[in-house]
Every structure is written in C-alpha cells, then in structure tokens.
C-alpha cells in the first residue's frame, strides 16, 4: 500500500487528482503540500512512497524540490505532473532525478499505469512527453562533448532510442528482428560505453549529450 504526496499550489488540481485515485487499490494515504517547504516537512515525518509534483510552485521550482527530495530519500518515487510539455522542462526534471513525467491532461487510466510502473521501479513518460523530447533532438544540434558519443553503432542508437521509448527487451527484439539475448548484449554495451549504471543513467546521458541527434 502506497502513500502519495500531492505537491501543487492549486487546490482544485489536488482535489481532482485525489478524486481519481480515491477508491483504487494499493493506495493507503494521501498527503498535500502547496510548496516545497510543506513537501519537505511532510517527507520528513511521513512514510511517503510517491510524489506527484508540479513544476511551478511559490517558493521553489519543481526541479529544485525534486533534487531536495531525492537527496533526502532517494527511495521516494517522483512523477512530474504539469502543463509544461517543453523539452527543456522535461530534460531539467530528468536531470533532477524524476522517475516519470505526465501532462495535466492525462486521463485516469494512464495516471494509474504511470503510478504502478514507477512504484515498481520503472520509469514512465507519456507519449506527448516522449514526442516532445524526440522532436527537440531532431531540431537542435547539441555539441557532442564526450568521445564516447562517437563509439555508438547504428544498431546501438536504434536500441537506445527504443529504450527511451519504454520498450521492453522483447518489444525491441521483435521490432528489430533480433533475439532478446542480442538486445541484452547491446544494452550491456551501451551501459559500458556511456558509463551508466542502469536505464535511468542511459536516459540522462541521452538528454545531456544529445545522443539521438543523428
């Protein structure tokens, strides 16, 4: 059973989201904060499992609050729930350590799916968010500041793109007509080449260095 903290300075938004989640299984408690200070106070006193975090808040930005929460307890999962679909906002939240990113026009079913996936240790980005990121990668050429960027093969870039799109090993294997074992081998090579420990690290490298610009 998960305890969820809503961090948003608009009560009508909190009430609406809470209304969607109340009555659903696996949720034991709901907590509310209207700014970063209130959020950190609740986190220090309650066993919070998941934070639904807005970006525009009175005292601190969602970017800073996300970092503060992860510094306090990196086991707490965070999903950004915001109106901003700008790639710059998304990348800053990813760099701050966010586990998921949804827009406020998200429906109930996707919200529940995102929460379940993030609580299980995965990451979740809505299709609109993924599309925004990919579009920005196509439009903006970033300076490639690390030698390891040049070491990625065409196949590794294909697999990396599918990983960012939340595809499973089996999905990637089917789409590229290769075996799951081959996908796993490529993923290990990506982790090694990009000096990343896990999928979250791969995501950060993509956004930091523009690995999918080509």
Taking alpha carbons only, the member of 176, 146, 151 closest to residue 161 is 176
Could you tell me which residues are beta bridge partners of residue 80? 53, 101
- The percent of the chain in helix, strand and coil, each rounded to the nearest 5, is 55, 15, 30
Domain extents for the chain?
2-124, 141-209
Element (H or E) spanning 20, and its range? helix 11-21
Report pLDDT digits (tens) over 28-66. 899 999 999 999 999 999 999 999 999 999 899 999 999
Could you tell me which residues are beta bridge partners of residue 82? 103
> Are the C-beta atoms of 7 and 55 separated by less than 8 Å?
no
Alpha-carbon distance values, 1 to 24, 29, 96, 142 (Å): 11, 8, 26, 43
Instruction: Classify domain 2-124 by CATH number.
Output: 3.40.50.2300
Q: What's the CA dihedral at 68, 70, 119, 168 to 10 degrees?
A: 120
Structure-model confidence comparison of residues 210 and 33, the more confident one: 33
Is 141-209 in the same CATH topology as 2-124? Answer: no
pLDDT averaged over every residue in the chain: 87
- Report the b/e string of 66-80 with b at 16+ CB within 10 A: bbbbbeeeeebbbbb
Structure confidence at residue 150 (pLDDT):
61
Instruction: Classify domain 141-209 by CATH number.
Output: 1.10.10.10
pTM score of the predicted model = 0.65
At 149, is the pLDDT very low, low, confident or very high (cuts 50, 70, 90)?
low
> Are the C-beta atoms of 78 and 99 separated by less than 8 Å?
yes
Return the number of other C-beta atoms located less than 10 Å from residue 137's C-beta: 20
Provide the percentage of residues in the chain whose pLDDT is more than 70. 90
Long-range CB pairs of 15-22 (<8 Å, 24+ gap) are 17/52, 17/81, 17/111, 20/108, 20/111, 21/111, 21/112, 21/115
The whole-angstrom separation of Cα 170 and Cα 200 is 19
């Amino acid at each position: 059973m998960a305890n969820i903290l809503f961090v948003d300075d608009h009560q009508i938004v909190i009430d609406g989201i809470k209304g969607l989640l109340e009555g659903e299984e696996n949720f034991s408690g709901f907590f509310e904060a209207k700014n970063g200070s209130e959020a950190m106070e609740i986190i220090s006193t309650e066993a919070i499992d998941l934070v639904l975090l807005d970006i525009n808040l009175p005292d601190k930005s969602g970017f800073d609050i996300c970092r503060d929460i992860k510094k306090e307890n990196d086991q707490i999962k965070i999903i950004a729930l915001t109106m901003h679909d700008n790639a710059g906002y998304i990348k800053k939240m990813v760099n701050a350590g966010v586990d998921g990113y949804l827009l406020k026009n998200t429906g109930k079913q996707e919200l529940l799916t995102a929460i379940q996936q993030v609580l299980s240790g995965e990451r979740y980005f809505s299709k609109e968010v993924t599309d925004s990121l990919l579009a920005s990668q196509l439009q903006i050429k970033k300076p490639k500041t690390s030698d390891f960027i040049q070491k990625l093969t065409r196949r590794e870039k294909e697999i990396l793109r599918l990983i960012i799109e939340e595809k499973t090993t089996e999905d990637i294997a089917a789409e590229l007509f290769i075996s799951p074992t081959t996908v796993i081998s490529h993923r290990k090579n990506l982790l090694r080449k990009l000096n990343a420990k896990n999928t979250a690290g791969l995501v950060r490298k993509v956004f930091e260095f523009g690995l999918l610009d080509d």
